[in-house]
């Protein structure tokens, strides 16, 4: 389709291209503004900090094993005196090559390891590839010397060469010690990390940026990384997010699961106070912003900035834009300023609304809309939340950092972002800045279309992630996945060497394909399975089981996506009646108390509408701290159970009635 | 109306005779300007359409964000001054203000690289921005007795 369209478009001549360039330059859109741009400030790097004392035990001698390896390597190279005497005999020219290719590189590696250890860094991730690479080169050199010696007839030369072979072998042994020690360190670290909970791991990684970088770059399952990010110390969250974006922004399925998990954690925390969801600089808002502004999202924002630079070209000291009467007394000039801002905002909104929104922005908008809907917000509130994401977090921050040539341009940008912010929030006037009332009519006119656009972006994003377009579709998809007629294998590619479990979707662009990819990002397939030379029935059973697990999780995820509060008024009313009339202790709503759930507040049917509401309430009100299931459940404990359940039901009914 | 004003302006410019006296009541001035602006806007619209027809991001950007600033936003000051001069009971101060606005817009037309680029565009659309708006400015100035 697009190919045909391109073919019918006229091609620009050189003269026309030159004209466009000259025009943009005259307006400040190309070159002119950039020429005065200040270099972007380097974000200060987090330094290597020592491992926190409370985690020192968990590190179990990680560094000492490598230090031991370095020492052993040095011991093997201890015969330096002997080397000196050899040098005389080997001869200067030959010795020079040996020094450059063998001796110096090994010395450098050992020095580098010393340096990294002194800084508490991650030796194996940084140095191991270099050591392995050098080892291969040394083996090649040794083989070369050995082959030459086989052909050498001169005994003296043979002896000389043999000494070099011995020297290379000594160094190879030294490198092997280092590799062994480094491998031990890797295992120790994996074991130590496995023993820590998410908060402990996050704290350890926050204190050791190089290990953090390596762990994130190794692409742990997105669900695990989300746990690490949400549990990271406040001052380390930015660094975690930066590393995740740097390493994985190109993998949309992975990043989207990461964003979704972090937003989900934030949503649970916001159960008590829904207004806190995406309010301020939360982990979810930072991550979604960073992902949305990466890749195609970044290109989209650059485009918006380039458009704005063209408009900014008409703003200078002789034609400034000012609409605040305190700063500009001349009403005519203020009116002109309003006109110019209106033109810009209309042009910008027009170009945004008719263009395509890239995946990182659309999918994050969809996740925020889903979160807001789970909180029971109406379409208008959902649109405002998405608008906040698109304008307040993405477009406006990008606009205000456009390098400007004059204070007048800076001021024009600030005013323009104020108008855009009011438009996205649907604010028609504010007593604090009455001069902004000049845009009320425009905002009132544009608001319905703008809000529709916000909701549409979210819908597009959901579709890109394979989410069902409506609740009816969701129900039918769930039914289809659970149907006995569903052809599971047709939806996966056959097992291959790259994908031995055959879990890659056969149609990665389709809705189910996207859902499968998201599941694979969240739950990495087993890494220890290799495709057997002959695919047997036994192996296919393993594949079938893995596929069934993926589809079960996909179904579960679709079920989780159902709105928590029913949208249908009658369903809502029925649910309120059911909770209000329920006997909390008769076993229809709540499961019996257990060691894991001493207050018996877990739902009997966690996937039912009532069960999901109970689960959400339990997550938001973890009130089992310090309470244990007594060996014999006595009347006193049962009273506690009944009270906890009644409180939960009260909260749920309150929530449902608020949505009526 | 515009033709009449243009004729008076021509007489004033070429023959050095001020057609119509300062005492003679003149019609509203804003429509004179709006006529010229509409004429130019229509041609700019053609240019916009032509630019959009290439499907080129730079030309799209110029069409959306670069053309309107020339006649629309830049002339707001002039239009405000024209409204004030047309208002019942407009005094000499309003006329002075209008004269200033005319000079200011003329300076913009003469000095703007963008105006020159639009007039010399290689897309086969004759906009005649400087000529059309310059003529209208002459007319307005002559109406003021300048």
A168 token code pair: 């290379």
DSSP symbols for A603-622:
BSSTTSHHHHHHHHHHHH--
Q: Give the pLDDT mean for A201-209.
A: 76
User: Per the CATH hierarchy, to which homologous superfamily does domain A293-464 belong?
Assistant: GTPase Activation - p120gap; domain 1 (1.10.506.10)
| pLDDT score, position A35 | 32
Does the pLDDT of residue A176 top 70, yes or no? yes
Neighbours of A16 (CB within 10 A): 20
Can you tell me which residue has the tokens 């035990």?
A57
Q: Does residue A386 carry a pLDDT above 80?
A: yes
Is a pLDDT exceeding 60 seen at residue A61?
no
Query: Cβ(A463)–Cβ(A362) under 8 Å?
Result: no
For residue B67, what are the CA distances in angstroms to A223, A627, B62? 50, 71, 6
pLDDT above 70 for A553: yes
Q: pLDDT category, A95, cuts 50, 70, 90?
A: low
Which residues on B lie below 8 Å from A6 (Cβ)? 55
Per this entry, what is the length of chain B? 146
DSSP codes of every residue in A203-269: HHHHH-HHHHHHHHHT---HHHHHHHHHHS-GGGHHHHHHHHHHHHTT-HHHHHHHHHHHHHHHHHH
Quote the pLDDT of residue A513: 93
Tokens of B72: 């629309």
- Does the pLDDT of residue A626 top 50, yes or no? yes
A46 CB-side CA count, 13 A? 21
Whether B57 contacts chain A with CB within 8 A: yes
From B115's Cα to the closest Cα of chain A, the distance in A is 10
pLDDT value at residue B28: 84
Q: Contact at 8 Å (CB) between A148 and A161?
A: yes
pLDDT of residue A37: 33
| SS3 call for B138 | helix
Least confident of A115-119, A356-360, A511-515: A115-119
d(CA B135, CA B10): 9
Confidence at residue A414, expressed as pLDDT on a 0 to 100 scale: 93
CB contact set of A469 (below 8 Å; sequence gap of 6+): A459, A462, A463
* pLDDT number for residue A53: 35
**Which of A21, A23, A351 has the CB atom closest to B64's CB atom?**
A351
pLDDT tens by residue, A474-502: 888 998 998 888 888 899 999 998 898 89
Averaged pLDDT score across all residues of chain A: 80
Phi first, then psi, for residue B22 (nearest 5°) are: -65, -25
Give how far B93 is from chain A: nearest CA, Å: 14
Q: What is the pLDDT of residue A85?
A: 45
Instruction: Tell me the shortest Cα–Cα distance from A322 to chain B, in angstroms.
Output: 13
CB A502 within 8 A of CB A493: yes
Q: What is the pLDDT of residues A439-454, one digit of tens each?
A: 988 888 889 999 999 9
What is the mean predicted confidence (pLDDT) over A277-305? Answer: 91
Q: Is the pLDDT of residue A68 over 50?
A: yes
What backbone torsions phi and psi does residue A49 show, to the nearest 5 degrees?
-110, 150
Inter-chain residue contact A336 with B113, CB threshold 8 Å: no
With 50 as the cut, is the pLDDT of residue A579 above it?
yes
Is residue A365 very low, low, confident or very high in pLDDT (cuts 50, 70, 90)? very high
Which segments of chain B have a pLDDT < 70?
A: 1-26, 68-76, 146
DSSP states of A287-323 = HHHHHHTSHHHHHHHHHHHHHHHHHHTT-BTTB----
Asked whether the beta carbons of residue B77 and residue A333 sit closer than 8 angstroms, the reply is yes
Considering only CA atoms, give the Rg of chain B: 17
pLDDT category, A289, cuts 50, 70, 90?
very high
Share of chain A above pLDDT 90, in %: 22
- Per-residue pLDDT tens over the stretch A498-531: 898 899 999 998 999 999 998 998 887 777 778 8
Q: Is there a contact between B64 and A26 if contact means CB atoms under 8 Å apart?
A: no
pLDDT in tens, A250-268: 999 999 999 999 998 888 7
Confidence of residue A33 (pLDDT cuts 50, 70, 90): very low
């Amino acid at each position: 389709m697009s190919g045909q369209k391109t073919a019918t478009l006229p091609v620009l001549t050189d003269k026309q291209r030159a004209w466009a360039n000259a025009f943009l330059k005259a307006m400040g859109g190309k070159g002119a503004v950039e020429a005065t741009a200040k270099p972007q400030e380097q974000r200060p790097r987090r330094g290597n900090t020592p491992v926190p004392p409370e985690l020192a035990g968990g590190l179990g001698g990680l560094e000492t094993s490598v230090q031991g390896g370095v020492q052993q390597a040095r011991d093997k190279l201890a015969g330096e005196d002997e080397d000196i005497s050899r040098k005389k005999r080997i001869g200067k020219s030959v010795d020079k090559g040996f020094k450059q290719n063998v001796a110096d590189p090994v010395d450098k590696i050992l020095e580098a390891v010393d340096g990294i250890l002194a800084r508490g860094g991650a030796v194996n991730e940084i140095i191991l590839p270099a050591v392995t690479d050098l080892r291969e080169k040394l083996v090649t050199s040794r083989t070369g010397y050995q082959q030459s010696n086989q052909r050498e007839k001169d005994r003296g030369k043979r002896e000389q060469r043999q000494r070099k072979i011995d020297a290379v072998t000594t160094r190879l042994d030294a490198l092997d010690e280092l590799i062994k020690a480094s491998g031990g360190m890797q295992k120790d670290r994996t074991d130590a990390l496995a023993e820590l909970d998410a908060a402990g791991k996050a704290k350890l990684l926050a204190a050791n940026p190089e290990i953090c970088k390596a762990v994130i770059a190794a692409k742990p399952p997105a669900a695990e990384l989300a746990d690490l990010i949400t549990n990271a110390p406040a001052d380390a969250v930015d660094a975690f997010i930066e590393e995740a974006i740097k390493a994985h922004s190109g993998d949309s399925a992975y990043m989207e699961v990461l964003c979704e998990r972090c937003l989900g954690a934030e949503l649970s925390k916001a159960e008590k106070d829904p207004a806190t969801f995406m309010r301020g600089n939360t982990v979810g808002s930072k991550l979604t912003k960073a992902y949305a502004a990466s890749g195609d999202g970044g290109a989209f924002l650059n485009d918006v900035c380039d458009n704005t630079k063209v408009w900014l070209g008409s703003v200078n000291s002789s034609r400034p834009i000012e609409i605040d009467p305190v700063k500009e007394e001349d009403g005519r000039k203020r009116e002109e300023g309003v006109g110019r801002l209106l033109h810009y905002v209309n042009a910008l909104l027009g170009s945004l609304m008719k263009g395509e929104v890239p995946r990182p922005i659309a999918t994050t908008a969809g996740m925020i809309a889903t979160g807001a809907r789970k909180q029971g917000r109406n379409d208008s509130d959902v649109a405002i939340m998405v608008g906040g994401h698109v304008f307040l977090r993405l477009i406006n921050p990008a606009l205000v950092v456009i390098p400007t040539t004059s204070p007048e341009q800076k001021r024009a940008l600030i005013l323009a972002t104020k108008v855009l912010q009011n438009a996205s929030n649907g604010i028609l006037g504010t007593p604090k800045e009455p001069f902004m009332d000049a845009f009320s009519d425009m905002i009132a006119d544009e608001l319905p279309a703008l809000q529709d656009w916000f909701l549409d972006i979210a819908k597009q994003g959901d579709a890109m992630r394979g989410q069902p377009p409506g609740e009816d579709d969701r129900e039918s998809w769930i039914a289809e996945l659970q149907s006995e007629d569903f052809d599971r294998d047709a939806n996966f590619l056959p097992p291959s060497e790259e994908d031995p479990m055959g879990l890659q979707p056969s149609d990665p662009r389709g809705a189910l394909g996207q859902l499968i990819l998201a599941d694979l990002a969240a739950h990495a397939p087993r890494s220890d399975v290799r495709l057997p030379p002959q695919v047997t029935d036994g192996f296919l059973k393993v594949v079938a089981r893995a596929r069934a697990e993926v589809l079960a999780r996909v179904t579960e995820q679709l079920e989780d996506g159902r709105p928590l509060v029913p949208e249908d008024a009658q369903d809502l009313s029925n649910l309120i009646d059911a909770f209000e009339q329920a006997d909390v202790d008769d076993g229809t709503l709540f499961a019996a108390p257990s060691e894991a759930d001493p207050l018996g507040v877990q739902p009997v049917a966690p996937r039912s509408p009532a069960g999901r509401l109970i689960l959400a309430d339990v997550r938001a009100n973890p009130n089992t701290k310090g309470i244990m299931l007594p060996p014999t459940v006595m009347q006193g404990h049962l009273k506690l159970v009944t009270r906890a359940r009644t409180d939960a039901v009260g909260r749920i009914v309150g929530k449902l009635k608020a949505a009526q | 109306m515009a033709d009449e004003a243009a004729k008076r302006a021509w007489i004033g410019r070429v023959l050095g005779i001020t057609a119509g006296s300062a005492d003679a009541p003149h019609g509203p001035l804003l429509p004179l300007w709006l006529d010229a602006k509409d004429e130019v806007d229509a041609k700019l619209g053609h240019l916009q359409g032509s630019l959009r027809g290439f499907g080129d991001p730079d030309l799209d950007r110029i069409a959306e964000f670069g053309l309107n600033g020339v006649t629309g936003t830049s002339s707001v000051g002039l239009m405000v001054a024209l409204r004030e001069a047309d208002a019942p009971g407009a005094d000499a101060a309003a006329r002075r203000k209008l004269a200033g606005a005319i000079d200011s817009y003329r300076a913009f037309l003469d000095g703007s690289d963008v105006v020159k680029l639009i007039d010399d565009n290689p897309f086969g659309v004759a906009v005649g921005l400087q000529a059309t708006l310059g003529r209208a400015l002459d007319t307005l100035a002559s109406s003021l007795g300048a």
